[in-house]
Amino acid sequence: MNRKLIAGNWKMNGLRVDLQTVREIAAGLAASTAAPEALLCVPATLLAEAARQASGTALCIGGQTCHSQEKGAYTGDVSAPMLKEAGAGFVITGHSERRTGHGETDEIVAAQARAAVNAGLTPIICVGETLDERTSGATLKVIEGQLTGSLDGLEPNSFVLAYEPLWAIGTGKVATPAQIAEVHAFIRQFLEQRFGKPGQTVKILYGGSLNPGNAAEILPISNVDGGLIGGASLKAGDFLAIYNAAAALTV
Ligand code: PGA
């Protein structure tokens, strides 16, 4: 069984005072090597200090996006080598808030993911359908298109995927276990067709209103290898409750 990955996405939240939450989460993790992996993707401004405070603990720190180029005239952007140097181990790429708010296409997402891998980071590549796409029955077709484009040029052991239905992000609306199981099985099948045997072990996270109340129901679903958690990752107690729900499955 894949070791589960419980990943927090702080989005545009977090000032220095919130480093206390990083310390509380790091202190609350299990020490065992069989325990789930834990990750917090914090704002770029907090990354170096969060990584310093998490060092020597089981908590990994990650970024939330990166540019596809290593350096250059890209005002306001952050490159993968910059994140790596600041202490990141992972970076989210293609989050729906970047795809819709910043016009990031599958092609751009793939280039960012390749840049992350080249810098020694593990990209967490996000895919997911809108409510309109789901109600019109286009979910699997949309996911297939996003996977085909966003994984271009990547090796199977170099990235993590996250399935995040857009209508479930930050809305309190969670996909049903049957909906999650269907899409995750579809993604697994896609990965096996594309990569063969190594496609069986690529981690696929679920994201979208995951919280302490539903984690124990969602995390055991077949092909769910962890979670990408927005709102509930801002509170140490909530993040740790989700982490403990994953840990309870590994013992
Ligand atoms: P949410 O966000 O848990 O607040 O729904 C998930 C995400 O956007 O990664």
pLDDT tens column, 211-221: 999 999 999 99
Which is catalytic among the residues 97, 129, 133, 164?
A: 164
What pLDDT, on the 0 to 100 scale, is given for residue 32? 77
Q: Per-residue pLDDT tens for 79-89?
A: 999 999 999 99
What pLDDT, on the 0 to 100 scale, is given for residue 31? 76
User: How many angstroms is it from 249 CA to the middle of ligand 1?
Assistant: 22
Q: How confident is the model over 115-141, as a mean pLDDT?
A: 97
Q: Per-residue pLDDT tens for 13-61?
A: 999 999 999 999 999 998 777 889 999 999 999 999 999 999 999 999 9
What pLDDT, on the 0 to 100 scale, is given for residue 250? 75
The CATH number of whichever domain residue 23 belongs to comes to 3.20.20.70
Give the residue ranges of DSSP H helices in the chain.
19-28, 44-54, 80-86, 96-101, 106-118, 131-135, 139-150, 177-195, 215-218, 236-250
Nearest CA to ligand 1 atom 6: 230
What pLDDT, on the 0 to 100 scale, is given for residue 27? 95
User: How many angstroms is it from 157 CA to the middle of ligand 1?
Assistant: 25
The reply to whether 24 belongs to the active site is: no
Confidence of residue 2 (pLDDT cuts 50, 70, 90): confident
- Is the predicted pLDDT of residue 206 greater than 70, yes or no? yes
The region that residue 170 occupies, defined by phi over 0 for left and psi between -120 and 50 for alpha, beta otherwise, is left
The whole-model pTM stands at: 0.97
The answer to which of 3-12, 24-33, 157-166, 232-241 has the lowest mean pLDDT is: 24-33
Confidence of residue 251 (pLDDT cuts 50, 70, 90): low
Confidence of residue 172 (pLDDT cuts 50, 70, 90): confident
Q: Per-residue pLDDT tens for 240-250?
A: 999 999 999 97
Nearest CA to ligand 1 atom 2: 230
Cα dist. 73→50, 99, 214 in Å? 27, 22, 44
Q: What average pLDDT does the chain have? A: 96
User: How many angstroms is it from 196 CA to the middle of ligand 1?
Assistant: 30
Q: Are strands 59-63 and 122-127 parallel, antiparallel or unpaired?
A: unpaired
> Of ligand 1's atoms, which has the minimum distance to the CA of residue 207?
6
Q: How confident is the model over 98-127, as a mean pLDDT?
A: 98
Tell me which of 92, 209, 242 to substitute to probe ligand 1's pocket, judged by most ligand atoms within 8 Å of the beta carbon: 209
Among positive and negative, which fits the CA dihedral 48, 52, 54, 55? positive
- Is the predicted pLDDT of residue 191 greater than 80, yes or no? yes
Residue 49: what residue type? Answer: E
Domain of residue 142, residue span: 5-248
154 lines ligand 1 (CB under 6 A): no
What pLDDT, on the 0 to 100 scale, is given for residue 136? 97
What pLDDT, on the 0 to 100 scale, is given for residue 34? 80
Count the domains in the chain. Answer: 1
Q: Do the Cβ atoms of 56 and 46 come closer than 8 Å? A: no
- Is the predicted pLDDT of residue 1 greater than 70, yes or no? no
Q: How confident is the model over 55-69, as a mean pLDDT?
A: 97
